Amino acid sequence: MRDYLNYEEVNYDMFTGKEQLLLGFVILVYFTFLFVLSLFMKRKIKTYDDYNVAGRSVSVFPLILTFVGTGIGGATLLGYMENGYSLGMGQQWIHITMFIAVILLASFLLKRIRQLGEKYNMITIGDYTALRYGEKARIPTVISFLFSYCAMTGMQFVALASILNLTIGLNMTLGIFIGWALLTVKTYLGGLKAVIWQDVIQGTILTLGVLLLFFTVLKLSGGWHTVSSNAISMNQKDMLNVFNITPNEIMIYLLTLAFYQFIRQDVWQRIWAAKDLRTARNGYWISMIIAILLGSIVVTIGLFGRFGLDLHNIDPTLVYYSVVENVFPFSLVVIMIIALLAAVISSADSFFIAGSSSIVNDIIKPNVKKSSQTKMLFYSRISVLIVSIISLVLAISIPGLVNLMVTGTAMSVSGLLAPVIFGLFWEKPTKIAGITAMWGGLGVAIIWQILGHPFDVHPIMIGLPLSITLLLLMTFFSNEKKSI
């Protein structure tokens, strides 16, 4: 995925002055509504569990929409559409590999994750790794997650700033600070409980918006026959081929974005937040089918925009805005901007909670002698502020946050995938084996990234095999007994 969030001012006269004022007003009203809802939910948050796992009482409908809202973020709506426009249908392998991961997680992992969460009252994956491999496992777990979640949260600050820049002409740097402030305060107030109920609204807006855009583009472009004919006439038939992608790219998508689903803390937390196992399983299956279909549709819209709507001489990073402007009157453009905001916000606050819960649960709580619900609730909100500051620094200092996000998932998978998956289903891995595999995979992946991918090999191709090897070697050469 190319760096569509490399923040620099964009000269793109999409809206008139009056339209910008109206958009600004609508965005203000939308955020005000979200703040009011967060304040309302704040009154209902009494405990640490309420804030971090929504009281473990979420029903299936809000669970579906919060999974969808988290899964379809700004990177999906903007980045995948750009990929479809620039690279073609080969990018559908992102969703093919993702569906493989969804089947595996739903069929083999979800029940075990839910049972452990219920039995041991877990809040984070750090709770699991500490149970399985000892308290020392919390540190590499936290580092792995902070690396990815702070990058992904910072990316949403930049995404929100780009929306404000393109719609109302706001300076990008100022927009990042405004996005940081708005998203931080909203998440600080409401925790996961507010996030989930806001996702009910935002997930609905997002889903309906993407479907409306798809069917409109499909009709106005003339359908697949027209798109295919235009691509062939321009000697770009390969763009239509789903196999227009290298095996190495497919493998990277599988090992990073897809396999990352197995250790996504926001996914585990929602599985634990569901009121029971059946709700968790049904909510996950339905939501992931919807999310993967929407992601696939977004890639297709990008392709149809190029060969069906004849959007050739445009900046690929702005294809979403170009398609929307091309097919809709301004009244519906406003709705699509709100849909984009919903995508960004619903991902950002979920990443916030996932990152902050690692800090409060895996660093602060083990070092607090008397961890009352009230005290831990206070520390939870402080942890949101810590994550927000780290994310803001990344957003300001590193323009290439999309690349950092992909790298972040690679770091997490390299360090955690093998110890977590082997530990869930195999009794033999020992504490020293798990911890060694975490530090070994994570450390080597980071070093490989710093060295600039020697021999053009992605860090995941080094870190994950090393982590698996260390886990197996240390298990067979260690006399320790299993932890659980």
- Residue-wise pLDDT for 205-252, tens only, equals 999 999 999 999 999 999 999 999 999 999 999 999 999 999 999 998
pLDDT digits (tens, 9 = 90+) for 35-83: 898 898 888 888 888 888 888 889 999 999 989 988 887 767 888 999 9
| pLDDT bracket for residue 9 (50, 70, 90) | low
380 token code pair = 């939870």
| pLDDT bracket for residue 483 (50, 70, 90) | low
337 CB neighbour count, 10 Å cutoff: 22
Q: What integer best gives the mean pLDDT of the chain?
A: 89
Is residue 261 predicted with pLDDT exceeding 70? yes
**What's the pLDDT score for residue 371?**
76
| pLDDT bracket for residue 475 (50, 70, 90) | very high
Beta carbons of 39 and 258 less than 8 angstroms apart? no
Beta carbons of 418 and 438 less than 8 angstroms apart? no
**What's the pLDDT score for residue 5?**
46
The whole-angstrom separation of Cα 302 and Cα 309 is 10
**What's the pLDDT score for residue 166?**
86
Helix (H), strand (E) counts: the chain: 21, 0
Beta carbons of 176 and 7 less than 8 angstroms apart? yes
Radius of gyration of the chain (CA): 22
Averaged pLDDT for residues 380-400: 85
The whole-angstrom separation of Cα 359 and Cα 1 is 29
Q: Phi and psi dihedrals of 459, rounded to 5?
A: -55, -30
Q: Which residues contact 174 (CB under 8 A, 6 or more apart)?
A: 161
**What's the pLDDT score for residue 3?**
44
186 token code pair = 């909203």
| pLDDT bracket for residue 404 (50, 70, 90) | low
The domain ranges of the chain are 17-476
Beta carbons of 468 and 437 less than 8 angstroms apart? yes
pLDDT digits (tens, 9 = 90+) for 420-439: 999 999 999 999 999 999 99
Is residue 363 predicted with pLDDT exceeding 50? yes
56 token code pair = 């473990």
HSE, side-chain direction, 13 A CA sphere, residue 129: 34
Please report, as a single letter, which amino acid is at residue 200: V
Looking up tokens 């409908």 gives 61
| CA distances from residue 353 to 16, 19, 183, 186 in whole angstroms, order as listed | 37, 35, 11, 11
How buried is 331 (Cβ within 10 angstroms: 0-12 exposed, 13-18 middle, 19+ buried)?
A: exposed
| pLDDT bracket for residue 397 (50, 70, 90) | confident
The whole-angstrom separation of Cα 35 and Cα 230 is 47
How buried is 240 (Cβ within 10 angstroms: 0-12 exposed, 13-18 middle, 19+ buried)?
A: middle
Beta carbons of 1 and 402 less than 8 angstroms apart? yes
CATH class of 17-476: mainly alpha
Is residue 7 predicted with pLDDT exceeding 60? no
Beta carbons of 172 and 367 less than 8 angstroms apart? no
Beta carbons of 279 and 56 less than 8 angstroms apart? no
Beta carbons of 76 and 301 less than 8 angstroms apart? no
| pLDDT bracket for residue 452 (50, 70, 90) | confident
Is residue 14 predicted with pLDDT exceeding 80? no
